Amino acid sequence: MIEDRTVVVEATGHDNVSAAHESTFEVTSDDYLTPAGDCILGIEADVVPSSFDEGFVDACQREDASITITLETGQHSDSIEASGHPALTFENDRSIVVRTSDYVDDRTVAVEADKAAADIDRDLVAALADGASLTTTLRVD
């Protein structure tokens, strides 16, 4: 049995956060966001997939991995349930992407999520668009 593993990512909202994308959401270490980035919830992330703990990565690569992602600002939060996948590489050094599909690339940290950016609590999205700090907690069971 593998113990629960948790990764906490601190990021910042931006006035271009729209959270309109219907199949993904993303947190990036980039320090900018254009209006085209409609899946991005936070920028200036302090942790990226390539720096995730090896135990967390191993746990996420199990066929039966269940991943809970919690998004929190000071006053608002939302929770997303997703799955791990054996093909997850955690090699990207910029972006954390959660997908509603089972598509995997080097940015993908979870698949088959029950929410995309467009489904995220709109009060949380508004807070991020006002520049609120974002804490993203990923827990794998």
Q: Distance between CA 113 and CA 25 in Å, rounded?
A: 10
**Average pLDDT of every residue of the chain:** 96
Angle, CA of 27, 29 and 31, to the nearest 5° = 110
The stretch 50-55 carries a mean pLDDT of 94
pTM: 0.95
Per-residue model confidence (pLDDT) at position 4:
57
Burial of 17 (0-12, 13-18, 19+ CB in 10 A): buried
The stretch 12-28 carries a mean pLDDT of 98
Q: How confident is the model over 36-50, as pLDDT tens digits?
A: 999 999 999 999 999
Per-residue model confidence (pLDDT) at position 2:
42
pLDDT tops 90 at residue 30: yes
Domain containing 62: what range?
5-140
The stretch 14-36 carries a mean pLDDT of 98
pLDDT band at 1 (very low <50, low <70, confident <90, very high): very low
Count of CA atoms in the C-beta half-sphere (13 A) of 140 = 25
CATH number at residue 66: 2.60.120.630
Overall number of domains in the chain: 1
